[in-house]
Structure 1
Amino acid sequence: MSTLYARDEAAIAGIEKLRFFPLEVVSGHGSTLLTPDGRELLDLSATWTASGLGHGHPAVVEAVSRAVRDAPGAGGLSAVHPDSVGLAEDLLALVPGTGERRVYLGHAGSDANDVALRACRHATGKSTVLAFEHSYHGGVGVAMGVSGVHVDAGAPADPHSVFLPYPNPFRPTYGDAEADVAACLALAAEHLAGGSIACLIVEPILSDGGLVVPPDGFLARLHELCRAHGVPMICDEVKMGLGRPGTLHAFDHDGVVPDIVTFGKVLGGGLPLSAAVGPAALLDEPPAAALLTTAGNPVCTAAGRAVLATIVADELADRAAIVGAVLTEALRGLGGSPGADRIGDVRGRGLAIGLELVDPTTGDKDPRLAASVVYRAWELGAVVYYVGGNVLEITPPLILTEAEAVRAAEILGQAIADAVAGKVDAEEVARYAGW
């Protein structure tokens, strides 16, 4: 163990660690991370999508440097400044919607979702939240209580929550994808008809639950149900939105306009920033009900404005679609390589890609192999993590090149082959629990 990692173990609280291998980094540029010993790593996670523009992007560097030099205070709690108002206006211009709308600015997707959920409860006077099994909406408050991933891990569910099954085309519960959709919608309709639902919260792509891409049209049919019963839909775009799926918004794929949309991660360009965009009737009341002293601060909001401007000006959504197709094809092309029979599925949209690892004889999930593969990938020069127990979540920076995409597939193919061949130290892997 290196000195830096030992210092981390002695100083940083374990409750905030999710480690898959002893990753140490001292700098980064583009889609590359640099270790203390000078080794370069291809970043296929983008810090769980938070570094969506890559590392050291000049637009973010310039915006943050300007803001730090001449910051008008440290937040938007009791004052207004150009970048907080400007960021809110930018989001209103980029997020579809009608009527009078408002923007909540926070620090992370967790608080954005928590505020959106509480706002719906307050505005409707109802308590029950419809959410999904294996979902992830945050690590605090109501957002944590309606996150299926946390509930799966033993955290208490919110007492007024109902979890719906998320349609999984690769692992359908009811025989096939359409049957899964029908079962989910029937259950949703039953609860919506009861009149006690404050809102429904959904991820257009189930990220931490296994990078599950639902059948086309699912979100639209779900939204139609919510509209029919007058129930607000919250679309959680924190991890999968803002260009990553090959469209500006993940919900664009189904052509819906959610009532509330939440953002985080990539929005801050690596800095803590989140937002919720929705009707004034939901987000204006009660006053001072969601206070964070440094929310809307000049530095983070300046970064956010630079991120949004770059995504639009550089057409990064289109780039994600193009490079994502190259990466997906290269991963599917691993079919003839050693260990390829362990690849059960390659799925995704744009640069949100899931590679599911399975037992070739049963088709069951293979979490041990996933842990070994991500560890071996790190040894070979790439950073990638797993979600849902056995799915490699491949979410590189939106600036990934086609050449880097091809190299990523080569590294992952070798990592799978090596893990299957027993070239990874199981005892060493076991030290890093991941999920």
Structure 2
Amino acid sequence: MSTLYERDAAVLAGIEKLRFFPLEVVSGQGSTLTTPDGRQLLDLSATWTASGLGHGHPAIVEAVTRAVRAAPGAGGLSAVHPDSVGLAEDLLALVPGDGERRVYLGHAGSDANDVALRACRHAGARRTVLSFEHSYHGGVGVAMGVSGVHVDAGVAADPDSVFLPYPNPFRPGHSGIEQDVVDCLELAERYLAGGSIACFIVEPILSDGGLVVPPDGFLRRIHELCRAHGVPMICDEVKMGLGRPGTLHAFEHDGVVPEIVTFGKVLGGGLPLSAAVGPAEILDAPPASALLTTAGNPVCTAVGRAVLDTIVTEQLADRAAKTGTLLQDSLRALAGSPGADRIGDIRGRGLAIGLELVDSATGAPDPRLAAQVVYRAWELGAVVYYVGGNVLEITPPLILTDAEAVRAAEILGAAIADAAAGKVDDEEVAKYAGW
């Protein structure tokens, strides 16, 4: 009998796979995933944050059950129903903003960003999109073409895109991080002043580019420039928003109120759901220019409402701040243990944590070690992936317990020590390309 992984290899398209180890799972509960042979794994990814409430959360189970039992159709394309309207109302109540606003509902962060970008181009009759190097905004359309990660991988950049350097406090330029910020802002000002910019799309924390946390105030200064030139800023909160950074919205850290905010992943609680919240003058026209038949469907929108209610009523943003601090402290406590000299940096906000692995002699990024560490962590009982080549992206469910946070640090510490000591089979790891 073939294994589940072998069966997958025989039937599912490779273009939709991003594999780091032969992960097979048959069930999940809370922050735990279970394999076909009954092994339990601590989930430190939450499916790239999409399972933000963990697995089998009762609020999601109840919402799905209620919605499926008597679903009024399968989408919001040509009809309205209580949960699509209700979810839009919930989002407008939770997302700060001025004036008349609208909500686009979609299936994934990719389409939410793509629609927001196209809507900005239409509304302002301008074409150029400002974005950042090593950014990620989606895997389709314009969103893919303005994603630095995809461009780095060989995807053609959108012809009307401009990529700016994202300030990285751990790896600043020769003149230091403050000068990097100044240089970035001056470059942004130059483009914005040219009159051709349709919008500026920004990740408040650069996620797939290496979980880079920018200096305090950076997002605010970018937004001030955008406002000065009448250019809408799209804040991409798909991966880093809705409680994960220890605040409800990641942009709150800098006291910013973006013109457009996009959501995905955790919003659907594991189901396909996304949203863009922004001015009616941008998102209302042209009619029927962003059609997905099952977008706004009763099941996903019911779950979205349950997710938002749970995050707010259970104060999961505050919990993420507290548990995230414990997890970071536990990781820093690895100092002095075997392999700890390979940890170059530990950074993050709330339960969005990056652990950068380096060559201990030079401080250079060590992607080979990162691949070995995530593989060894899987063997030891945890699911974690790397981004930016050499950074462990630690984004567990928002319901992670204190005990699980401590155990996560123990497993990661052991995985780093084993990989640094040469105890991981390079040939086996090489079978899984990751990024």
TM-score range, shorter chain: over 0.9
Deviation at 1:13, TM superposition (A): 0.2
CA distance in 1, matches of 2:26, 2:230: 50
Report the residue type matching 2:172 in the other structure: P
**1:265 aligned partner:** 265
Deviation at 1:191, TM superposition (A): 0.2
**SS of the residue aligned with 1:335?**
coil
CA distance in 2, matches of 1:304, 1:173: 42
CA distance in 2, matches of 1:282, 1:369: 45
**1:412 aligned partner:** 412
**1:3 aligned partner:** 3
1:43-192 aligned at under 5 Å gives the runs 43-192=43-192
**2:398 aligned partner:** 398
Deviation at 1:176, TM superposition (A): 1.6
Deviation at 1:111, TM superposition (A): 0.1
CA distance in 2, matches of 1:331, 1:2: 38
TM-score w.r.t. the length of structure 2 is 0.99
Report the residue type matching 1:348 in the other structure: G
Deviation at 1:174, TM superposition (A): 4.3
CA distance in 2, matches of 1:3, 1:113: 37
**Gaps (5+ residues) in structure 2?**
none
Deviations along 1:224-263, one digit per CA (max 9) or x if unpaired, are: 0000000000000000000000000000000000000000
Report the residue type matching 2:182 in the other structure: A
CA distance in 2, matches of 1:181, 1:66: 49
Deviations along 1:297-319, one digit per CA (max 9) or x if unpaired, are: 00000000000000000000000
**2:334 aligned partner:** 334
**SS of the residue aligned with 2:392?**
strand
**1:30 aligned partner:** 30
CA distance in 2, matches of 1:42, 1:175: 41
Deviation at 1:117, TM superposition (A): 0.1
CA distance in 1, matches of 2:155, 2:245: 30
CA distance in 1, matches of 2:151, 2:298: 36
CA distance in 1, matches of 2:232, 2:5: 45
**2:325 aligned partner:** 325
Q: Does 1:288 align with 2:282?
A: no
Deviation at 1:177, TM superposition (A): 1.4
**SS of the residue aligned with 2:333?**
helix
**SS of the residue aligned with 1:8?**
helix
Report the residue type matching 1:401 in the other structure: T
Deviations along 1:252-292, one digit per CA (max 9) or x if unpaired, are: 00000000000000000000000000000000000000000
CA distance in 2, matches of 1:354, 1:341: 16
Report the residue type matching 2:183 in the other structure: A
**Gaps (5+ residues) in structure 1?**
none
CA distance in 2, matches of 1:67, 1:212: 39
Moved over 2 A (4+): none
Report the residue type matching 2:54 in the other structure: G
Deviations along 1:156-213, one digit per CA (max 9) or x if unpaired, are: 0000000000000000124321111111100000000000000000000000000000
Deviation at 1:223, TM superposition (A): 0.3
**1:229 aligned partner:** 229
CA distance in 2, matches of 1:208, 1:2: 33
Deviation at 1:69, TM superposition (A): 0.6
**SS of the residue aligned with 2:131?**
strand
Deviations along 1:337-373, one digit per CA (max 9) or x if unpaired, are: 1000000000000000000000011110000000000
**SS of the residue aligned with 1:408?**
helix
Deviations along 1:128-158, one digit per CA (max 9) or x if unpaired, are: 0000000000000000000000000000000
**1:275 aligned partner:** 275
Q: Does 1:12 align with 2:12?
A: yes
**SS of the residue aligned with 2:335?**
helix
CA distance in 2, matches of 1:175, 1:432: 38
Deviation at 1:2, TM superposition (A): 5.3
CA distance in 1, matches of 2:338, 2:63: 47
Deviations along 1:18-46, one digit per CA (max 9) or x if unpaired, are: 00000000000000000000000000000
**2:421 aligned partner:** 421
CA distance in 2, matches of 1:67, 1:180: 50
Change (3 A) 1:296 1:154: same
**1:240 aligned partner:** 240
CA distance in 2, matches of 1:25, 1:332: 30
**SS of the residue aligned with 2:267?**
helix
Q: Does 1:372 align with 2:408?
A: no
Report the residue type matching 1:139 in the other structure: G
CA distance in 2, matches of 1:171, 1:85: 45
**2:207 aligned partner:** 207
**2:198 aligned partner:** 198
1:293-308 aligned at under 5 Å gives the runs 293-308=293-308
CA distance in 2, matches of 1:371, 1:201: 30
**1:217 aligned partner:** 217
CA distance in 2, matches of 1:25, 1:177: 42
CA distance in 1, matches of 2:426, 2:2: 20
| Same amino acid, percent of matched pairs | 85
Q: For the aligned residues, what is the CA RMSD? A: 0.7
CA distance in 1, matches of 2:315, 2:174: 39
**SS of the residue aligned with 1:208?**
coil
CA distance in 2, matches of 1:196, 1:328: 42
CA distance in 1, matches of 2:224, 2:174: 22
